[in-house]
């Protein structure tokens, strides 16, 4: 382990064997929290480096958004020497994160159980589509696959229209976050037991867990929830509305006090005494009639006027923002959610930052996502004590990428 720092994971070494999104998202969070994350890539790099349409030099914006605070080492695992080198690095790691399809690790010579037995403190986290066991373990999975199979897509979109994928890759990112939670718990328990864990996170399981009350409704009442649109199954005053200027806003009036504030804001105080809307249950039962009245009232003023007046009545309300508008607001809020990163070559990008805050601590600066193989020499020197001449030999043998930084002390 590296020397401890003030960052929460500052003494944790993470070997990142992941590609695309679920795994890199997990390890980026760990890097944000101070872990030394070494991304092991094939000579051609993580596939996400090449996703169009936006690039900064040779790397895609997709890749740059999920790989800050990492180092990159490019190893050809098709070679015997490359596989031995990977095992040497695993022996020095606290955590290994991979998102191979089940069985692939074994095929490239990584016997997870044997590695865990050889290194009892090692935490091995596997992220896959369907888990390490079960009938679908060998099937490929991507974000939209697990959104479809979990029921999430059946809840997304407008009633009477085709199912819609969530506009964010929740199948991947949620799995990455659950993996982070599991790794954090395993690191905590290791402090007591001295032993690591083998972690099995399935993207489909994570999406099922995110169904929240919709799954409980179905299990308890036998219902089949349908597309939600911008509405709520239980609270008819928790939805979006169109305003006079064509902009949409959302209102979440989910208590009696908020319901009354909504009525006052819209000039509909007579609804407070209307028996059809006397309480939450009756409003739900008569939601079609209620919506007709509310929708007409919202069309009488512009969206920003409604939001301002509703907030004066202590009714939560907000405009539906575009992504650029939301990012502009985040910049103005100055909570560090827009990060400016600069590479050693002078490339500059902005990315969305880490939402985790520790009160009283200044967030550590973040590093630009690594070029392919840029840290190979440095990592092999610091983790394995390898001299520059040995690194040169691995390059000559085709085991390592040629894009190398200098070995510390041997430049």
Domain identity same for 76 and 144:
yes
Domain identity same for 249 and 186:
no
Domain identity same for 272 and 188:
no
In 3-state terms, what secondary structure has residue 73?
strand
Residue 266 lies in a domain: yes
Domain identity same for 184 and 249:
no
> What is the rounded distance in angstroms from the CA atom of residue 37 to the CA atom of residue 353?
17
> What is the rounded distance in angstroms from the CA atom of residue 32 to the CA atom of residue 176?
14
Quickly list H helices, 3-142.
22-32, 61-64, 80-92, 104-107, 112-118
Q: Cα torsion at 294, 300, 304, 306 (round to 10°)?
A: -40
User: At which of 268, 300, 320 does a domain end?
Assistant: 320
Residue 216 lies in a domain: no
Domain identity same for 127 and 262:
no
Classify residue 366 by its DSSP letter: -
Domain identity same for 310 and 246:
yes
Mean pLDDT for each consecutive 10-residue tract of the chain (411 residues)? 69 98 98 98 97 97 98 97 98 98 95 98 98 95 97 97 97 98 98 98 98 97 96 97 98 98 98 98 98 98 98 98 98 97 96 96 93 95 96 95 50 31
Contact 298, 266 (CB under 8 A): yes
Sign of CA pseudo-dihedral 132, 136, 142, 148: negative
Domain identity same for 36 and 106:
yes
Contact 332, 314 (CB under 8 A): no
Tokens of 225: 């929830």
In 3-state terms, what secondary structure has residue 75?
strand
Domain identity same for 56 and 194:
yes
* Nearest CA among 369, 29, 383 for reference residue 175: 29
Structural domain boundaries, residue 167:
13-210+355-396
Calculate the alpha carbon distances from 258 to 264, 280, 282 in Å. 10, 11, 16
248 sits in which H/E element: strand 248-252
Edge-first strand order for the sheet with 123-128 is 70-74, 36-41, 13-16, 95-98, 123-128, 198-202
> Which of the residues are catalytic?
172
Contact 315, 258 (CB under 8 A): yes
User: At which of 274, 299, 320 does a domain end?
Assistant: 320
Domain identity same for 19 and 116:
yes
Domain identity same for 53 and 162:
yes
Q: Which pLDDT score, from 0 to 100, does residue 363 have?
A: 87
Contact 351, 59 (CB under 8 A): no
CATH code for the domain in which residue 252 is found: 3.30.1540.10
Q: Which pLDDT score, from 0 to 100, does residue 317 have?
A: 98
Q: Which pLDDT score, from 0 to 100, does residue 362 have?
A: 87
> What is the rounded distance in angstroms from the CA atom of residue 4 to the CA atom of residue 198?
24
Residue 342 lies in a domain: no
Give the burial class of 395: count Cβ atoms within 10 A of its Cβ; 0-12 exposed, 13-18 middle, 19 or more buried.
middle
Contact 196, 124 (CB under 8 A): yes
Residue 7 lies in a domain: no
* Nearest CA among 98, 27, 21, 97 for reference residue 68: 27
Domain identity same for 44 and 143:
yes
Contact 125, 98 (CB under 8 A): yes
User: What are residue 393's phi and psi, to 5 degrees?
Assistant: -65, -40
CATH code for the domain in which residue 381 is found: 3.40.50.10540
User: What are residue 36's phi and psi, to 5 degrees?
Assistant: -85, 105
Domains contained in the chain, number: 2
Sign of CA pseudo-dihedral 78, 81, 85, 88: positive
> What is the rounded distance in angstroms from the CA atom of residue 304 to the CA atom of residue 373?
50
Looking at 163-237, which runs of residues are DSSP E strands? 198-202
Q: How wide is the angle at C-alpha 402 spanned by C-alphas 386 and 348, nearest 5°? A: 105
Domain identity same for 80 and 202:
yes
Give this prediction's pTM: 0.94
Q: How far is CA 31 from the centre of its chain?
A: 13
In 3-state terms, what secondary structure has residue 127?
strand
Residue 137 lies in a domain: yes
> What is the rounded distance in angstroms from the CA atom of residue 276 to the CA atom of residue 284?
9
Interstrand relation of 123-128 and 198-202 (parallel, antiparallel or unpaired)? parallel
Residue 132 lies in a domain: yes
User: At which of 273, 303, 320 does a domain end?
Assistant: 320
Residue 194 lies in a domain: yes
Kindly give, in sequence order, each residue whose CB lies less than 8 Å from that of residue 81, ignoring residues fewer than 6 positions away. 394, 397, 399
Residue 56 lies in a domain: yes
């Amino acid at each position: 382990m590296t020397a401890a720092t003030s960052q929460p994971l500052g003494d944790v070494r993470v070997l990142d064997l992941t590609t695309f999104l679920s795994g890199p998202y997990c390890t980026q969070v760990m890097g944000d929290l101070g872990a030394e994350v070494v991304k092991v890539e094939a000579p051609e790099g993580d596939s996400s480096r090449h996703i169009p349409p936006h690039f900064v030099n040779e790397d895609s914006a997709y890749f740059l958004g999920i790989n800050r605070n990492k180092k990159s080492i490019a190893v050809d695992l098709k070679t015997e020497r490359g596989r031995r080198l990977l095992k040497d690095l695993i022996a020095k790691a606290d955590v290994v994160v991979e998102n191979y399809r089940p069985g692939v690790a074994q095929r490239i010579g990584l016997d997870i159980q044997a590695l865990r037995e050889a290194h009892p403190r090692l935490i091995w986290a596997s992220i896959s589509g369907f888990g390490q066991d079960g009938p679908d373990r060998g099937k490929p999975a991507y974000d939209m696959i697990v959104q479809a199979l979990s029921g999430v897509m059946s809840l997304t979109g407008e009633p009477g229209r085709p199912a819609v994928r969530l506009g964010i890759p929740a199948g991947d990112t949620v799995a990455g976050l659950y993996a982070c939670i599991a790794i954090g718990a395993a690191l905590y328990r290791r402090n007591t037991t001295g032993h690591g864990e083998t972690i099995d996170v399935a993207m489909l399981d994570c999406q099922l867990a995110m169904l929240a009350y919709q799954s409980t409704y179905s299990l308890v009442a036998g219902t089949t929830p349908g597309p939600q649109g911008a509405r709520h199954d239980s609270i008819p005053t928790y939805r979006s509305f169109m305003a006079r200027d064509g902009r949409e806003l959302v209102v979440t009036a989910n208590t009696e006090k908020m319901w009354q504030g909504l009525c006052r804001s819209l000039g509909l105080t007579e609804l407070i005494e209307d028996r059809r809307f006397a309480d939450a249950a009756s409003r739900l039962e008569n939601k079609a009639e209620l919506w007709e009245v509310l929708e007409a009232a919202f069309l009488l003023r512009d969206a920003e006027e409604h939001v301002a007046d509703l907030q004066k009545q202590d009714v939560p309300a907000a405009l539906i923002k575009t992504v650029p508008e939301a990012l502009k607001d985040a910049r103005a809020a100055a909570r560090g959610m827009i990060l400016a990163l600069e590479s050693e070559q002078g490339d500059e990008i902005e990315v969305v930052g880490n939402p985790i805050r520790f009160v009283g601590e200044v967030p550590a600066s973040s590093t630009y996502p690594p070029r392919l193989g840029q840290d190979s020499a440095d990592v092999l020197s610091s983790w394995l004590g390898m001299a520059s001449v040995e690194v040169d030999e691995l390059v000559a043998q085709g085991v390592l990428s040629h894009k190398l930084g200098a070995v510390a002390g041997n430049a």
